[in-house]
Amino acid sequence: MMGFFVMARGDTGCCAGNRQIVGEDDFGRKIVLEKPPERIVLLSGTPVDLIYELGAGHMLVGVVDTIATSYPETCRRYPSILEKEGVGRFSAPNIEKIVSLAPDLIIPFASSESPGKYTTVFERRGLAYAAFVSVENVAFGIEQIKRMGSVLGKEKEGKALAHKIRTEVDTLSKKISSRIKDRPLVYYWWGTRNGTYGARTAINELIELAGGVNLAGQFDAQHMELSPEYVIARDPDVIVISYWKESQRDERVAALRKKPGFSGVKAVKNNRVHTIEGHSFHTTIRFAEVIQTLAEFIHPGVLGDSGYSGGLRP
């Protein structure tokens, strides 16, 4: 296992002995390794797309046990992820299994408030880790691509990918904004309970870039629940439902249509209820794809045949 240490936020040192700074994580921690990592354990499916697109998928030696069931679309795009060793669940990693894989780097995915409750265990065991979080906006996501690239020893690739995604997002959003005359109200539903996404989430910005207004965008929150009565009173023009497995698509639309009072909502009456794969708006490299998809839901035909062409769509 390669040696490492972490310098606190704001430390200006650049090296120590034969060690070099590889980069920093989303918490401003300087990740210092003897050399770029070669064996990585990933404790969430969220960064898989990014890691593979940076050309580092082969470095993964361990992933969460639920990768196949929780991220089926990601596994379809990057099937070799199914060959990796299972290291427990996102909320309960198998520390001994992780140690047995002799990782150079562990990548936990956490909330913006904390790098994760198991990181103290990693520190005690002398295991290097770089913590990343769900992005709250496009700008943060672009910078996260660069940070991930640096940590993985793929700095050049990270900068190039970040530029590509930034260009795609800007091109699409400008085209949409120049062609629309109104901004319909959009209700984004998790598909379970009464969950939705507030202002501090990437999906809020993506809805805006696609020419809509997020029904929950007025609330300074990430994940939240809104009462059905509140949603009905706001009477959204468009409803978008997230799903993770193909089998969930039809059943979630049917469940929404059966909710008391929803038959009178404009989106339901006008048959403007749509579904989108839930992981897509959690990974920055698919943001252009999401904007195009949402734009077609919100403003059908607005992009014509000149929409997304980034090459990540199947």
Average pLDDT over residues 179-194: 95
Q: Whole-number mean pLDDT of the chain?
A: 88
- CA 271 – CA 115 distance, rounded (Å): 42
Say what the pLDDT of residue 222 is.
85
Q: How confident is the model at residue 176 (pLDDT cuts 50, 70, 90)?
A: very high
Specify the pTM: 0.87
Give the mean model confidence (pLDDT) for residues 205-211: 98
Split at pLDDT 50, 70, 90, the class of 94 is very high
Distance CA(279)–CA(123), nearest Å, equals: 30
C-alpha separations of 145 from 53, 64, 75, 279 in Å? 10, 21, 20, 16
For 219-245, write each residue's pLDDT tens digit. Answer: 998 889 999 999 999 999 999 999 988
The answer, yes or no, to whether residue 1 has pLDDT greater than 50, is no
Q: How far apart are alpha carbons 83 and 105 in whole angstroms?
A: 19
Q: What is the pLDDT of residues 96-141, one digit of tens each?
A: 999 999 999 999 987 555 556 678 888 888 899 999 998 889 999 9
In this prediction, residue 247 carries a pLDDT of: 87
Cβ contact 169:286 at 8 Å? no
pLDDT of residue 116: 64
Instruction: Name 41's Cβ contacts closer than 8 Å, sequence gap at least 6.
Output: 60, 61, 62, 63, 87, 98, 101, 103, 105, 106, 107
pLDDT over 80 at 307, yes or no: no
Residue 155 clears pLDDT 70, i.e. is over it: yes
Please, which pLDDT band fits residue 2 given cuts at 50, 70 and 90?
Answer: very low
* Range from 198-202, 213-217, 287-291, 309-313 carrying the lowest mean pLDDT: 309-313
Go through 276-298 and write b for each residue having 16 or more CB atoms within 10 A of its CB, e for each that does not.
bbbbbbbbbbbbbbbbbbbbebb
User: What is the model's pLDDT at position 13?
Assistant: 40
- Is 257 a residue whose pLDDT tops 90? yes
Condensed to tens digits (0 to 9), the pLDDT of residues 46-84 reads: 999 999 999 999 999 999 999 999 899 999 999 999 999
